[in-house]
Structures are given as structure tokens and as C-alpha cells.
Homo-oligomer: A and B are copies of this chain.
Amino acid sequence: MWGMARTAMDRFETAKAKGDRLHQHLHADIVSGRMRPGERLSETRLAERYAISRTPVREVLRRLLEEGLLRVVPQIGTFVAPINLAAVRDSQFIRETLECRAVRLATENRTQEQCRLLRRYLAQQARLVSAGDRLGFFASDEAMHRDIMRIADHPSVWDLIASVKAQLDRVRYLSLDDDAWLAMIFRQHQEIVDHIDKRDADSAERAMQAHLRTAFGAIERIAELHPDFFEQAATHPQKEIA
């Protein structure tokens, strides 16, 4: 092998690689609701579990803190953050605003080949809906949204949306969507692609907005159904500036 350090590597994987896996696991566990708000995380235990030191673990926890998924109290502990309704509203605003403008640009810029790509996504999703493959469908959904951003010629903007989307996905996972809901999402995708195809930017933007708001609309109801997941907002402090 090339240059294998016994202390820095273990089972042929660097601490950084293990840290990335740790990040993925924690991110998925929190967003999916498998880890509930208030649940405790120990740097030491995570370090032991992944056979790395606290240093890379701490970097991972800092990333998750930036994403708003954790809450760190010095000398006390690290906890899964409650869902903050204001943060969810802001995330929705950011995603909706950016993707609506992007689909407008995409509609104006798209080539024939890019239209065919979107049609291929629709065909794939039709199969996934029939098969009832939720995970596959969500993966295809995300890839398609990312590609629309690429067609709008702002590919890396999706990275920003992805980081903000965690807040929205956390709520969506609580609404355990059924097959009918999956089919509706698919119809909305069809609609969006049709408008892109017909070069109707206004309609494409409207369809995208409706699409992105379907899940968001039920937030208040979800917050009532799962009060232990949410942080009770102090009814808008609306602080004044100097």
C-alpha cells in the first residue's frame, strides 16, 4: 500500500472519511426523526464508536450545529435541536424563492436535450411510484431539482438549498406521506416539466411554487400533532433596532 499510517488509519479508512460517515449517519438520524429533539450526544462515545478521536468528531458536530440540527451547551452537553418554526419558515422562503426563479431561468435557457433529461426523470419516477419505492422516489426528486438548478446555470446554488432543506425535510418526515401523496408530487413534476417544455416561464414558476408549498402547508397541523418535536416560539419578539 502507499503510505499507511497505523495511528492515523484504521481498517484502511482515514479519520476524515469516518467523520464524513458519522456526519451522514447523524444527519439522516436527526432529519428522519430516529433521533428526537433533546436526545443527548456524547463526543467521547461517538469517538469510541467510530474509532476516531474527539477532534474529527467535534468538527462533524460543528457542521451539524451550523445546519441547525444540534444545540451545544458548554460544559453540559450536545443535544438534538428542537424544530424551530421560524427557521422552517425561513428555509421555505429561501428554497421557494431560489427554485422559483431558477425554474424560470431554466425554462428560458433549456435545450432540447435537457428537456429529454427531465422527461427521463419523469419516466423513472413513474416506475418508482408504481413500485411504491419512496426512498428511490425522493432520491430521484432531489436529483431532478438539482438538475433544474443546473439547467438554470447555477448548479452550485443547489448546495445551499440542500443545506437549508434539512429543516424542511425534518418536518416532512413527520408527515409520513402515503402513496397518494407520492402520486400527487409526481403529477406536479409532470406539470412543471410540461411548462418548461412549452417555454411558459410564468406557468412553470407558478407550478413550482405550488409544488414546493404542498408539504409546507401542513406545518401548523404537524406541529400540533408532534409538540415534543417543536420549540414553542415566543410569539414573535420582534426586537427593535437602535
Contacts and interface: CB of A to CB of B under 8 A. Distances in A.
Contacts of A160: 94, 160, 164
B98 A154 contact: no
B143 A87 contact: no
Nearest to A159: B90
A90 B147 contact: no
B154 A90 contact: yes
A101 B97 CA distance: 7
A156 interface: yes
Contacts of A90: 154, 156-157
Interface in A100-126: 101, 117
Number of this chain's copies in the assembly equals 2
Interface in A137-186: 143, 147, 154, 156-157, 160, 164
Contacts of A101: 93, 97
A154 B93 contact: yes
Contacts of A154: 89-90, 93
Interface string A52-66: 000000010010001
A86 interface: yes
A147 B94 CA distance: 17
Nearest to A97: B101
Contacts of A66: 66
A241 interface: yes
A3 to B, nearest CB: 11
A139 B73 CA distance: 32
